[in-house]
Structure 1
Amino acid sequence: MSSRHPIIIVTGANGGVGYGICQRLLLNLCGDVPEDALPQPEATPGAYQPCDYIPWTKLTLIMACRSAQRAGEARNNLLQFLDEHIAERKRQNSPFSKEMDEFRKNLTIDILLLDLASSQSTLKFCREVSQRYPYISHAIYNAGYAPWNGIDWPLAIWAVLKSIKNAVTYPQYQRQLTGVLSKDQYGLTFQSNVLGHFFITRALKPLMDKSPWPTRVVWTSSLETTYALKYANWDDPQLITCIKPYSMCKFQTQLVAHYLDLESPRTRHFVTHPGVTSTGIFLDQLNIFTSFAMLLAFYIARLLGSVHHPISWINGAIAATHVSLVALPLLNVRKKLVVYGSRATLWGKAYVGGNEMDNYSQYADKAKNLVSYCDELYETQKRRFTEQRS
Structure 2
Amino acid sequence: MSLPEDIPQPENGFYVLVTGANSGLGLGIGTRLIDEFLQTRPQSESLVLIITTRDKRKGDATVQKLREHLQKVCRRVERSVPGMAMVLQRRVHFRQEILDLLSLVSVQRLCKRLRQTTPKLDAVICNAGIGGWTDLNWPLAVWKILTDWKSAVTFPTFKLSAVGWRAKPQIPSSSGEGGKKVEEPPLGEVFCANFFGHYLLGHYLAPLLARHDEREQTRGRLIWVSSLEAYEHAFDINDIQGLAGKQPYESSKRLTDLTAITSRLPSTSPLVDKYLAYPKEPPEHTTTKPRIYVSHPGVCGTAIFPLPLVLDYLWFMAMFIARWLGSQWHPATVEKGACAMVWLALAQQSSLDAMEEREGVGKWGSATDWWGRERVERTEVEGWGWGGRVGEAKRKGRSPYARDLTAADREAFEETGRRCWVEMERLRGEWEGRLEEAGVGVAME
TM-score by length of 2: 0.77
Q: Which one is further off, 64-73 or 306-315? A: 64-73
Say whether residues 1:109 and 2:99 are aligned partners: no
1:351 alignment counterpart: 375
Asked whether the equivalents of residues 337 and 360 of structure 1 are also in contact (C-alpha less than 8 Å), the reply is: no
Q: Which string of whole-angstrom CA distances, capped at 9 and with x for unpartnered residues, describes residues 275-295 of structure 1? A: 010111112xx3222222211
Give 2:121's match in structure 1, choosing from 133, 136, 159.
136
Q: Which amino acid aligns with 2:415?
A: D
How do residues 89-168 of structure 1 correspond to structure 2 at under 5 angstroms?
89-93=77-81, 98=84, 101-168=86-153
Q: Which has the higher contact order (CA 8 A, sep 6+)?
A: 1
C-alpha separation between the residues in 2 aligned to 1:336 and 1:189? Answer: 30
Shift of 1:220: 0.6
Q: Which amino acid aligns with 1:182?
A: A
C-alpha separation between the residues in 2 aligned to 1:54 and 1:22? Answer: 19
Shift of 1:237: 1.0
Say whether residues 1:87 and 2:75 are aligned partners: yes
Alpha-carbon distance change, 352 to 364 in structure 1, aligned in 2, over 3 angstroms: same
Alpha-carbon distance change, 278 to 132 in structure 1, aligned in 2, over 3 angstroms: same
2:324 alignment counterpart: 303
Q: Which string of whole-angstrom CA distances, capped at 9 and with x for unpartnered residues, describes residues 350-384 of structure 1? A: 11111315354422222222222222222233334
Q: Which string of whole-angstrom CA distances, capped at 9 and with x for unpartnered residues, describes residues 23-45 of structure 1? A: 11111222xx33xxxxxxxxxxx
1:379 alignment counterpart: 429
Q: Which amino acid aligns with 2:365?
A: G
Shift of 1:230: 1.8
Q: Which amino acid aligns with 1:69?
A: R
Shift of 1:261: 4.2
Shift of 1:178: 1.3
Q: Which amino acid aligns with 1:61?
A: L
C-alpha separation between the residues in 2 aligned to 1:232 and 1:385? Answer: 28
Shift of 1:258: 2.4
Quote the RMSD (CA, aligned, Å).
Answer: 2.1
C-alpha separation between the residues in 1 aligned to 2:348 and 2:261? Answer: 19
Shift of 1:272: 0.7
2:226 alignment counterpart: 221
Asked whether the equivalents of residues 149 and 177 of structure 1 are also in contact (C-alpha less than 8 Å), the reply is: yes
Q: Report % sequence identity.
A: 27
Shift of 1:93: 2.5
Give 1:364's match in structure 2, choosing from 414, 418, 422.
414
C-alpha separation between the residues in 1 aligned to 2:120 and 2:112? Answer: 13
Alpha-carbon distance change, 62 to 199 in structure 1, aligned in 2, over 3 angstroms: same
Q: Which string of whole-angstrom CA distances, capped at 9 and with x for unpartnered residues, describes residues 164-184 of structure 1? A: 111111111000111111124
Asked whether the equivalents of residues 34 and 92 of structure 2 are also in contact (C-alpha less than 8 Å), the reply is: no
Alpha-carbon distance change, 385 to 208 in structure 1, aligned in 2, over 3 angstroms: farther
Q: Which amino acid aligns with 1:172?
A: T
C-alpha separation between the residues in 2 aligned to 1:298 and 1:247? Answer: 20
Asked whether the equivalents of residues 180 and 240 of structure 1 are also in contact (C-alpha less than 8 Å), the reply is: yes
Q: Which amino acid aligns with 1:277?
A: C
Alpha-carbon distance change, 92 to 140 in structure 1, aligned in 2, over 3 angstroms: same
Q: Which runs of 5+ in 2 are unaligned?
A: 1-8, 171-185, 274-287, 380-385, 389-408
Q: Which amino acid aligns with 2:378?
A: G
Shift of 1:186: 0.6
C-alpha separation between the residues in 2 aligned to 1:62 and 1:379? Answer: 27
Shift of 1:105: 2.1
2:263 alignment counterpart: 260
Give 1:4's match in structure 2, choosing from 8, 12, 15.
12
Say whether residues 1:319 and 2:327 are aligned partners: no
Alpha-carbon distance change, 25 to 261 in structure 1, aligned in 2, over 3 angstroms: farther
Shift of 1:134: 1.4
Give 1:251's match in structure 2, choosing from 251, 254, 264.
254
Shift of 1:103: 4.2
Q: Which one is further off, 313-322 or 290-299? A: 290-299
C-alpha separation between the residues in 2 aligned to 1:330 and 1:196? Answer: 30
Alpha-carbon distance change, 267 to 360 in structure 1, aligned in 2, over 3 angstroms: farther
C-alpha separation between the residues in 2 aligned to 1:260 and 1:123? Answer: 23
Shift of 1:221: 0.8
Q: Which runs of 5+ in 1 are unaligned?
A: 35-52
Asked whether the equivalents of residues 307 and 343 of structure 1 are also in contact (C-alpha less than 8 Å), the reply is: yes
Give 1:72's match in structure 2, choosing from 60, 85, 102.
60
C-alpha separation between the residues in 1 aligned to 2:234 and 2:212? Answer: 39
1:190 alignment counterpart: 191
Q: Which one is further off, 365-374 or 143-152? A: 365-374
Alpha-carbon distance change, 360 to 122 in structure 1, aligned in 2, over 3 angstroms: farther
How do residues 326-341 of structure 1 correspond to structure 2 at under 5 angstroms?
326-331=347-352, 332-333=355-356, 336-341=360-365
Q: Which string of whole-angstrom CA distances, capped at 9 and with x for unpartnered residues, describes residues 267-325 of structure 1? A: 12111100010111112xx3222222211111111111111110011010001011111
C-alpha separation between the residues in 1 aligned to 2:37 and 2:264? Answer: 25
Asked whether the equivalents of residues 29 and 56 of structure 1 are also in contact (C-alpha less than 8 Å), the reply is: no
C-alpha separation between the residues in 2 aligned to 1:306 and 1:76? Answer: 35
Between structure 1 and structure 2, the one with the greater Rg is 2
Asked whether the equivalents of residues 261 and 267 of structure 1 are also in contact (C-alpha less than 8 Å), the reply is: no
Q: Which string of whole-angstrom CA distances, capped at 9 and with x for unpartnered residues, describes residues 181-222 of structure 1? A: 112431111111111111011111111111354101111110
Q: Which one is further off, 60-69 or 7-16? A: 60-69
Q: Which one is further off, 194-203 or 251-260? A: 251-260
1:37 alignment counterpart: none
Q: SS of the counterpart of 1:60?
A: strand
Asked whether the equivalents of residues 235 and 254 of structure 2 are also in contact (C-alpha less than 8 Å), the reply is: no
Q: SS of the counterpart of 1:13?
A: coil
Q: Which string of whole-angstrom CA distances, capped at 9 and with x for unpartnered residues, describes residues 204-262 of structure 1? A: 1111111354101111110102xx22233211111111111111211110111123345
